[in-house]
Amino acid sequence: MKKTAAILMAAGMAAISLTGCLGSSAKPEKATAAQTTAKAEETDAKAETSGGESEAASKPAKDAVILKYSATCPPVGTQADGALKLGELIKEYSGGELVVEFYPSSQLGDKVETLAGLQNGTIEFTELAATDLSSYDDIWSVFSLPYMFDSGEQAVKVLSDPEVAAILEKSAEDSGFKIISWWNFGERSILNAKKPVTNPSDLKGLNIRCMENAVLAGTINAMGATGVPMAWSEVYTAVQQKTIDGLENSIPVITSNKLYEVAKYFSKTEQFIIPDPILMSKAVYDSLTPEQQQAIDEAGKQMDIEWNEKIWPAAMETEVTVLTDAGVEINEVDKDSFKAAVQPVVDEFLKTADEASVALYETVNTVKAKY
């Protein structure tokens, strides 16, 4: 059973009518007197420091344009901090003309439903892994490949480089999405409920959740475990009920979702480094005035700095302590053995991938040398 309802109640969120949010027009909604700047209520210390506006319960101007930000993350935590900060910047740069409503915990749907909403203009913003766009264009599967980057910082620099960005922005816009920011989500490692993992043989017999992508699942299989594609909203319960033995993700995402409650062994395999694009509905972006579009662009550029230089580094420093305080055992691994185990996945990908995907892979590797 999914945890969405429980998470929202725990966060003290006010009930929001989804019927009024999911209209059929690509034009953004105007605020009414009953609408609020929907952010998670700051009921604990973490929410109070999330970077959102101080006037949490204030109402937007009567003629403000309401832009909905849909996310699978909880209403508090690192990802929520980023969403709320982006909303604050958009409101600031637009002089209050644009107001972002934050809908966490899959209130407006999962990733697939949210991306469909961006395409038809009923949802304005979302944040997700770059690999989630592979269902729209195969080139995004390049970022599913293991050990593609040396660090999350390097990955963001490469994807933001003009040579790579031009390819990705065109692909995104052809599918109906506009990239406004790139966020470092660090290095994804194995968290499991059974034992420490130091080499591929330790993963034998473990069922490890991965994102719903064939290359990602194949990589987990090559590492020694059985990759189980699964929606993120189902992971906590699946580990708790022993349907799966663990998952792979970065530390701040694990702590935000309290997965340390159900799994106590974190092994620094760091097999995937997948930044998240912040996407806006291109249909909605194109419907805004030039001044409003400029405000979105400026907020996105500033958000690059806020997230990659402030929010994420701070989270990495503090959330390791959260894990250890919760009794999670963190261990190093023989990374060379994992790299050797997954090399066949890379080789097979390059043999079977289309020309555009191979070209992107080669461009990324060329640009990577600069960083």
Is residue 120 scored above 60 in pLDDT?
A: yes
Report how far residue 189's alpha carbon sits from residue 196's, in angstroms, rounded to the nearest whole number: 12
User: Quick one: pLDDT band at residue 63, thresholds 50, 70, 90?
Assistant: confident
Report how far residue 82's alpha carbon sits from residue 88's, in angstroms, rounded to the nearest whole number: 10
Task: Give the amino acid at 157.
Answer: K
pLDDT higher at 336 or 4: 336
Provide Rg for the chain, Cα atoms: 20
Q: Which residues contact 55 (CB under 8 A, 6 or more apart)?
A: 37
Report how far residue 350's alpha carbon sits from residue 346's, in angstroms, rounded to the nearest whole number: 6
What are residue 239's phi and psi, to 5 degrees? -70, -45
Is residue 41 scored above 90 in pLDDT?
A: no
User: Could you tell me the CA-to-CA distances from 79 to 28, 51, 59, 221, 273 in Å, in that order?
Assistant: 24, 11, 23, 28, 17
Give the pLDDT confidence score for residue 212 in this predicted structure.
87
Exposed, middle or buried: residue 243 (CB in 10 Å: 0-12, 13-18, 19+)? middle
Q: What is the mean pLDDT of residues 79-101?
A: 98
0.75 surpassed by pTM? yes
Report how far residue 93's alpha carbon sits from residue 104's, in angstroms, rounded to the nearest whole number: 23
Residue 179's DSSP bridge partners are 279
Task: Give the amino acid at 324.
Answer: T
User: Quick one: what percent of the chain has pLDDT higher than 90?
Assistant: 81
DSSP, res 147: T
pLDDT tens-place string over residues 263-278:
999 999 999 999 999 9
Is residue 341 scored above 50 in pLDDT?
A: yes
User: Quick one: pLDDT band at residue 60, thresholds 50, 70, 90?
Assistant: low
Residue 248's DSSP bridge partners are 190
3-class secondary structure, 270: strand
Pairing outcome for strands 188-192 and 29-30: unpaired
Is residue 47 scored above 70 in pLDDT?
A: no
Is residue 289 scored above 70 in pLDDT?
A: yes
Give the pLDDT confidence score for residue 28 in this predicted structure.
52
The two counts, helices (H) then strands (E), for the chain are 14, 12
Is residue 42 scored above 90 in pLDDT?
A: no
If phi over 0 gives left and psi between -120 and 50 gives alpha, with beta otherwise, what is residue 41?
beta
pLDDT tens-place string over residues 165-191:
999 999 999 999 999 999 999 999 999
pLDDT tens-place string over residues 199-258:
999 999 999 999 988 999 999 999 999 999 999 989 999 999 999 999 999 999 999 999
Report how far residue 2's alpha carbon sits from residue 354's, in angstroms, rounded to the nearest whole number: 37
Report how far residue 49's alpha carbon sits from residue 130's, in angstroms, rounded to the nearest whole number: 27
DSSP, res 149: S
User: Quick one: pLDDT band at residue 59, thresholds 50, 70, 90?
Assistant: low
The full set of domains in the chain, from first to last, is: 4-140+150-185+275-318 (3.40.190.170), 188-274+321-360 (3.40.190.170)
Give the pLDDT confidence score for residue 62 in this predicted structure.
74
pLDDT higher at 298 or 37: 298
